[in-house]
């Protein structure tokens, strides 16, 4: 498995790794937390899917959401109005 990961990284870097994770998640969605899938879909530019997984993470009260309003990994989604709706659902103040 490690050799395959090394090959994927060598051939396509992080974008290829993200694509591989998302392909695996489509086969085994239960193997990945919703919060992780939200981030990977966001990085892949699949914003609708990213927000669907973020909504699932919010519904399940994922403890990783504690830094949703400030963590830089969420910057990709901050420009979308849906992000502020997610913050509001969590009882957090929307971003300006």
Q: Do 38 and 57 contact (CB within 8 A), yes or no?
A: yes
What was the pLDDT predicted at 93?
A: 84
pTM above 0.85, yes or no: no
Between CA 40 and CA 37, with CA 83 as vertex, the angle to 5 degrees is 20
pLDDT at 4 (0 to 100): 85
Q: Return the pLDDT at 5.
A: 83
Residues 42-68 as b or e (16 or more Cβ within 10 Å = b) = bbbeebebbbebbbebbeeebeebeeb
Which residues neighbour 10 within 8 Å (Cβ) at sequence distance 6 or greater? none
Average pLDDT over residues 15-43: 91
44 has pLDDT over 80: yes
Pairwise pLDDT comparison (30 vs 62), residue with the higher score? 62
- For the cut 90, the answer to whether the pLDDT of residue 1 exceeds it is no
Q: Which of 61, 56, 68, 4 is nearest to 30 (CA)?
A: 56
Task: Identify the pLDDT of residue 80.
Answer: 94
């Amino acid at each position: 498995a490690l050799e395959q990961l090394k090959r994927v990284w060598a051939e396509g870097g992080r974008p290829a790794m993200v694509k591989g994770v998302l392909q695996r998640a489509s086969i085994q969605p239960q193997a990945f937390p919703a919060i992780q899938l939200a981030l990977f879909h966001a990085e892949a530019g699949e914003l609708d899917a990213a927000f669907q997984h973020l909504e699932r993470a919010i519904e399940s009260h994922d403890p990783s959401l504690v830094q949703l309003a400030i963590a830089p990994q969420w910057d990709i989604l901050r420009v979308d109005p849906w992000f502020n709706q997610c913050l509001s659902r969590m009882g957090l103040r929307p971003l300006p």
